[in-house]
Amino acid sequence: MIDTESQEITVTTDPSRLDLDVIHGYLVRSYWAHGIPREVVARAMAHSLCFGAFEGDRQVGFARVVTDRATFAYLCDVFVLESHQGRGVGKRLMAAVMAHPELQSLRRMALFTRDAHGLYRQFGFGESRFTDRFMEVVHANPYGASA
């Protein structure tokens, strides 16, 4: 478990502190997980390394890493509540993710983003060098919600 503090924002990997209501409440209306069922969020969190950003006891941000903790990690579900955007919370979350001891010496860390390229570039992310190798299966509307 990691706890880091800075200017009233605490970032932790302690699962007992994560607020499923806040996390699901944001993800269900996000562009990438619109309509996601609460039980799917809970199951995803149970099988991932999760980071929560808190102001006091209130959760204001979140990041989830799907990883084998040895060779690969997929960073996803990163958000900061609108009330806390522009205050460095995203940077604090990303710094904690990138410093986590179980995410060191990986061959690759991947993510998908539509609108936060500037944030992620600050932490070493860039466009894939292997677009000719990358393949995926996409289910456009897995939760049956309209975006």
Supply the pLDDT for residue 145.
Answer: 64
pTM, to two decimals: 0.90
29-61 per-position pLDDT tens digit? 999 999 999 999 999 999 999 999 999 999 999
- The residue behind tokens 């958000």 is 79
- DSSP classification of residue 18: -
Inter-residue contact 59 to 27 (CB < 8 Å):
no
Is 140's pLDDT higher than 60? yes
Query: What is the CATH code of the structural domain delimited by 3-121?
Result: 3.40.630.30
Domain residue spans in the chain? 3-121
Residue 147 predicted with pLDDT over 60: no
pLDDT digits (tens, 9 = 90+) for 65-108: 999 999 999 999 999 999 999 999 999 999 999 999 999 999 99
Per DSSP, the chain holds a count of helices (H) and strands (E) of 4, 6
